C-alpha cells in the first residue's frame, strides 16, 4: 500500500513495501540522509530545539558542513533479522522518532521499487510529483540557508540555542512564502501519523 499524507514541507509518503525493502536489511535507514540546514530549521519550528541539543550532546547528531549528520549504530534490522549498521534512530520495528523530529527526506522519500510496486496503484504518479517537488523545494532552501550561515557565522558555527532559534525562524519565513504542496482529493486525503512498522523498515 502507498499512502500520501500531504502537509506542505511536512508531507509524508508511506509504503508497506519499505518494511520488506528489497535493497537492504534496514532499507534507507542503513544510509540515513543528513539533517541539512532546512531540516534543522523545520524541526525547531515544530518544537524540537531542545531535542536537537540533547541529540547533539549525545553524539547522535554530529555537526558538519551541511548541518547535522545522523550517527549510525549496529542493531537488529527487524525482528528476527540480521544486525546491521544503520541510523541511530532506527529500531527493530522502524523509526523511533516521530515525523516532526526527522529529516524531511525521511518523511517524503520513497524509491522506484515503492513507486513501481502493485500496491502503489493509482497513487504512484501523485507520490512521485510530491516527492520531486519537495526535493526541489528543500534543495533551494538549503542552498540559500548555507549562504546565510556563512555570512552570519564567518568564524564558524556554534551549535547552541541561538543558532537553532535563528534557523527555526528562517524556516518559518521560507516555508510561509512557499507555494503549497499538491493537495490530495478529498476522498483520498489521510491524516498525518507516525510511520508504523508496516510502513517503514
Residue 197 belongs to some domain of the structure: no
Number of domains composing the chain: 1
Residue 57 belongs to some domain of the structure: yes
The model's pTM: 0.84
pLDDT tens track for 44-67: 999 999 999 999 999 999 999 999
Residue 153 belongs to some domain of the structure: yes
Residue 199 belongs to some domain of the structure: no
Residue 188 belongs to some domain of the structure: no
Domain hosting 175: range is 24-106+128-180
Share the mean pLDDT of the chain.
85
- At residue 26, the pLDDT reads 80
Give DSSP secondary structure letters for the chain.
-EEEE-BTBT-EEEEGGGGG-SS-TTGGGGSPPPEEHHHHHHHHHTT-HHHHHHHHHTTSEEEETTEEEEPEEEEESSTTS-EEEEETTEETTEESS-GGGS-HHHHH---HHHHTSGGGGGGHHHHHHHHHHHHHHHHHHHHHHHHHHHHH-TT----SHHHHHHHHHHHHHHHHHSPPPPPPPGGG-----PPPTTT--
* Mean pLDDT of the 92-107 span: 93
Residue 50 belongs to some domain of the structure: yes
Amino acid at each position: 500500500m502507498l499512502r500520501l499524507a500531504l502537509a506542505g514541507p511536512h508531507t509524508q509518503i508511506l509504503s508497506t513495501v519499505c518494511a520488506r525493502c528489497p535493497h537492504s536489511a534496514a532499507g534507507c535507514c542503513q544510509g540515513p540522509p543528513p539533517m541539512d540546514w532546512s531540516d534543522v530549521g523545520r524541526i525547531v519550528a515544530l518544537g524540537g530545539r531542545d531535542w536537537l541539543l540533547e541529540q547533539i550532546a549525545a553524539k547522535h547528531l554530529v555537526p558538519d558542513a551541511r548541518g547535522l549528520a545522523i550517527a549510525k549504530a549496529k542493531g537488529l534490522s527487524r525482528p528476527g533479522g540480521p544486525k546491521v549498521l544503520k541510523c541511530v534512530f532506527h529500531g527493530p520495528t522502524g523509526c523511533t522518532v516521530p515525523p516532526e523530529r526527522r529529516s524531511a527526506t525521511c518523511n517524503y522519500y520513497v524509491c522506484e521499487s515503492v513507486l513501481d510496486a502493485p500496491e502503489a496503484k493509482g497513487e504512484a504518479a501523485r507520490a512521485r510529483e510530491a516527492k520531486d517537488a519537495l526535493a526541489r523545494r528543500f534543495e533551494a532552501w538549503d542552498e540559500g540557508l548555507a549562504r546565510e550561515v556563512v555570512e552570519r557565522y564567518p568564524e564558524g558555527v556554534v551549535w547552541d540555542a541561538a543558532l537553532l532559534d535563528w534557523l527555526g525562524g528562517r524556516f518559518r519565513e521560507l516555508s510561509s512564502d512557499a507555494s503549497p504542496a499538491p493537495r490530495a482529493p478529498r476522498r483520498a486525503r489521510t491524516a498525518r501519523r507516525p510511520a508504523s512498522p508496516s510502513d517503514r523498515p
